[in-house]
Structure 1
Amino acid sequence: MKFINLTALAICIFTSQAIGVAIPENELESLVARQGSPVAFNVAPLGTSCGHGTTITCVLSPGQSCKGNFNPAQASVVVTEALGNCHVSLYAQPDQQGGVTQRLDTDTTGTCVFTNIATWESYGIFC
């Protein structure tokens, strides 16, 4: 009976131990890169203070994009989070048409960009 109790106790101890595996540094960097980069920005229509509108968030891996339309058109934008080589492109027409009218890179995080009219009707986030 004692043997069974000791065996059961030993199995419980061994199975509850976390298994750790060393990962080479070059593989670790690759795994981190595939995790994706969060990008978030806040847009507001005319008459709403910058940063007090709708926040749009997307987690991207390199080479991916998030796209969408605004309804109504937006007059201000502030990037609240952007990591890596990501940027937000704003367009004056729906469905990312008409060319980029504003591009916000990672170094513009926290800076409000606004217009006196509601200019932007769609966006694209690219990494």
Structure 2
Amino acid sequence: MAKHEKRFLKSYESKASEYLNDKEKASTLLKKADKKAIGDVWEKLQLLFHIFGDWTSGKYRAIPVKSILMIIGGILYFVSPVDAITDFIPVVGLLDDATIIGLVFRQVSSDLALYKEWKQKEFSQE
């Protein structure tokens, strides 16, 4: 583990101890984390699905081929039941999917920002 990772974890260690014996606080934290993880990943997936769909239909082609290939690869990884950590393992099996989607999202973020702008203009013209 890198030094900065150790410092980061150490900084949260004392705060984490507050949750150790407080079931109510721990429950609230888990609900927040669950909501954030599901919402964030789902929102990213939806955006990737939409841009791929619009590209496939020919509505939106203002994206480099390299980026659309990365998006398609991320979607393929997501739907594949056999990947780095099989999806049949509860919770853990989805972590690698979320990681890959996050990586794809970061790699094509500027393209996605342009797509969002285009999509907003398209909706405002309807």
Q: TM-score, normalised by structure 2?
A: 0.24
Report which of the two has the higher share of helix.
Answer: 2
Q: TM-score, normalised by structure 1?
A: 0.24
User: Radius of gyration: which is bigger?
Assistant: 1
Report which of the two has the higher share of strand.
Answer: 1
